[in-house]
């Protein structure tokens, strides 16, 4: 399992120490939750002999596949089906934590985004309807549209220019207002990033639950029985060889 996390270091992160602290705390919480879940799984894995005695019935291949499907839909469901309720509750708890975390950060990001748009309209005269994240990032880095367009022209980035109309116009009433807006914008980005960590947790929880089901059922799956028999039947015209193959 490999997490590829891209850290973007820039002036905005050095200026926004509070946002970085929130990101670090959320990431540490995510790692701790994964660690606790993994430790519980490893501790219980050492007593597989006791688990085998709980559910000794053989399983068909289709039943084993159904258990894996249950783990994909809801981690812990397959464990409950095998009467391994302690394991099941562990996966259920992790699932609940990740969903609550995801919903909370999504709600927070939406609230911050609404505040950001309202602040830009009030202090920079921005028409926020139909604007994407790139636009709000640009207005957070430049005092007005003229300063932005002048720099793009100097670097010959004509395709990045905004038309100097009311639709894309902005002009901050002060440098402090621009910095405050950028601070709000970064908080919203951090909240969305934290929500993505929760989504990763949901995926990992399902993968671990699937491997857990595989470990629990590896000695319980019925293997197809096959039998080959041969008979020699004599008759008046000779003998007949009869082969019977059952599975």
In a domain, 219, yes or no: yes
pLDDT tens-place string over residues 195-246: 999 999 999 999 999 999 999 998 888 766 555 555 556 666 665 656 554 5
Q: Considering only 102-111, 142-151, 157-166, 235-244, which range has the smallest mean pLDDT?
A: 235-244
Look at residue 123 and tell me if it is in a domain: no
Q: How far apart, in whole angstroms, are the C-alpha atoms of residue 190 and residue 20?
A: 8
Q: Which residues contact 137 (CB under 8 A, 6 or more apart)?
A: 185
Q: List Cα–Cα distances, 84 to 34, 43, 48, 78, 213, in angstroms.
A: 20, 14, 11, 9, 10
Is residue 42, in this structure, part of any structural domain at all? yes
Q: Please report whether residue 162 resides in a domain.
A: no
Q: What is the 3-state secondary structure (H, E, C) of 165-178?
A: CCCCCCECCCHHHH
**Helical residues (DSSP H) of 155-219, grouped into ranges:** 175-217
Nearest CA among 208, 217, 203 for reference residue 81: 217
Residue 39 lies in a domain: yes
Which pLDDT tens digit goes with each residue over 170-180? 999 999 999 99
Q: How much is the pTM?
A: 0.67
pLDDT tens-digit map of 28-45: 555 555 555 555 455 444
Characterize 198-215 residue by residue with b for buried, 16 or more Cβ atoms within 10 angstroms of its Cβ, and e for exposed: beebbebbbebbbebbee
Q: Specify if 16 maps to a domain.
A: yes
Give the integer Cα–Cα distance in Å for 169 and 114.
Answer: 19
pLDDT at residue 34, rounded to an integer: 57
Asked if the structure places residue 233 within a domain, the reply is yes
Bridge partners (DSSP) listed for residue 242 = 231
**Distance (Å, whole) CA 5 – CA 193:** 11
Which ranges of 46-174 does DSSP label H, i.e. alpha helix? 48-54, 61-73, 77-81, 85-124, 133-141, 145-154
Residue 106 lies in a domain: yes
- Give the total number of structural domains in the chain: 1
- How many CB atoms are located within 10 Å of the residue 173 CB? 12
Per the structure, the complete domain to which residue 31 belongs is given by 11-114+186-246
């Amino acid at each position: 399992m490999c997490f590829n996390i891209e850290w973007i270091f820039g002036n905005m992160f050095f200026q926004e120490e509070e946002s970085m602290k929130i990101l670090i705390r959320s990431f540490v919480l995510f790692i701790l939750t994964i660690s606790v879940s993994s430790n519980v799984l490893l501790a219980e894995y050492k007593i597989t002999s006791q688990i085998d005695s709980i559910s000794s019935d053989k399983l068909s291949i289709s039943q084993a596949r159904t258990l894996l499907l249950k783990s994909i839909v809801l981690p812990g469901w397959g464990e409950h089906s095998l009467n391994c309720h302690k394991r099941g509750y562990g996966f259920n708890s992790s699932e609940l934590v990740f969903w609550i975390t995801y919903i909370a950060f999504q709600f927070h990001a939406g609230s911050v985004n609404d505040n950001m748009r309202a602040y830009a309209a009030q202090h920079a005269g921005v028409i926020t309807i139909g604007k994407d994240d790139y636009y709000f990032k640009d207005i957070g880095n430049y005092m007005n549209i003229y300063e932005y367009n002048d720099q793009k022209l100097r670097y010959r980035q004509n395709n990045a220019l905004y038309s100097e109309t009311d639709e894309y116009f902005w002009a901050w009433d002060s440098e402090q207002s621009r910095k405050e807006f950028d601070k709000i914008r970064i908080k919203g980005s951090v909240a969305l990033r934290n929500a993505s960590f929760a989504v990763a947790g949901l995926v990992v929880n399902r993968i671990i639950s699937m491997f857990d089901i595989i470990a629990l059922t590896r000695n319980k799956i019925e293997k197809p029985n096959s039998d080959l028999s041969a008979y020699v039947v004599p008759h008046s015209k000779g003998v007949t060889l009869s082969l019977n193959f059952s599975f």
